[in-house]
Structure 1
């Protein structure tokens, strides 16, 4: 086969804020260097290199595509290995297959001690073959849960960049926005909502790290976007990071910074989905291995709410109050319970008591697209 090798650069990569050249390939970052320099949290450092929402986009008549990458796969001490991350193929907007990459580094984390060790490995290749002939728009969505360095793109026909012509939706949230529990990178609730609404997604969902960090709001301020949303609450509770007195001013400051760069863009504040363990019980949250699998539990004292500790119920009330108090005609409150509430929990319980499964990601994505992007919604048009 006569291969054509196309350099991978900014013209082909969407959803990343920066691309860093490394010895193992081009590393997409979802936070810029300035933000990374101010971060001291190893969990966020890992999460922002996991390319949720990052994809290669190009036009080609190729019938075979190969992508070489060097991945870092995460595992957990005492638990079976996680499935390999999925590379989702989209042709002309329609899902057309998925693949995985073997090899790479394996990072094993001990959730009890917070330590980890890395076993190095070799690069791998994902291959898509027997594709339909003729020109087509191709997207390859990178695994949301594996740090992925891009090495080489090979095709059997030339590749050209595709300009962005759709509205850009910039979103920030926690592990659920990052994608935990989704079937693949194009099936996270945010990716599904973006596809249904016909917009370009830039996903700044960071597992465990939607914590009102000022460097995150500055990154959002400086990222071009037509539509902006922030999903806040669950990490602030399960990290037991902040009290009620500081919560309101911190949210105001976060929104103020975003508004500096997006003064008139529709901006949605999304409160937490239902999570029974934290509805009325504060954090911190903790892993629970008692039944041989990973689950989560809340360890706080409900009586401490009177002293200013946060629960999801308190956060929803405060976010609704803050949005109403700001007097911003382009600022909107989206109740997370309208996306996933008590009736939904009965039909689609959270497998680990914290994160939704693939069917729930689809449910939330469809509801968000229909209510927020649909007729009469804040992102309509």
Structure 2
């Protein structure tokens, strides 16, 4: 019910206040999660091998014992957020991992910890506080530029530590996506002998593909300084270049988490280069978000909208709806496309000339 003067019940008023508070303090979940990773809480519990008591956790973290109750309060919130479970049936409560906190193990093959630390780095959180300034001012292309006086990629080039964290976050994300792709969607590679992984960095995705599919050869196209010094093999070749200028010929082109960094004009240029590369019989495979606010999973939609706001804030990019993707494909000269909701928040889009 919409609030009207004098017609608001006490329950509605209190519920509305709690709702506003919940969203106001939502950042506390994020920074608490970051703190848990920095302290090594998931790793300490995993190393312990079975549910751990608070005193054992404090000891393993080498935390200040006078702050043990503060660790308890941190864990209480993280249990409420379902990052850990708590067994209270024994004299002293014990904490254990959930599927979500297993993804925070720093040395796990499918860890997402680097991406959490990247997004919550002060350099990436500061631009969010400049959004209203940016929206009412023509001087800056992005909130990131409003905050730092330079664009995202310029700043990354001068922040070696953050640049390394960004690369690690992209590698670990590619490892997780590749794990799902080659395990559950091998059929999308049928008939493909050569694959160009555009913007593929040091080749995490390409390596997983050629290891799982012996009949495919991959090339990784990225900027010259990214692939400099990387050794090519018979099945995996590195090529320095610019995707806006040319993409080497291949049966298929893969773009994983590339398109959302760019506006429509830039994406159109990329797609036209892709179409030239695959010819009439190939296809372009895109792993990215397809925004669908009508999906039943509220968490997925919420994540998609979070990513869309992040792309606006950092890059002047965007996440796209199916209608927006279809227009891009059509404008680039593709005749058809297919969407498979394969990765939760993200999808696999296949575009055909």
* TM-score normalised by length of structure 1: 0.29
Q: Which has the higher helix share?
A: 2
* TM-score normalised by length of structure 2: 0.30
Q: Higher RCO, 1 or 2 (CA under 8 Å, sep at least 6)?
A: 1
Q: Which has the higher strand share?
A: 1
Tell me which structure has the larger Cα radius of gyration: 2
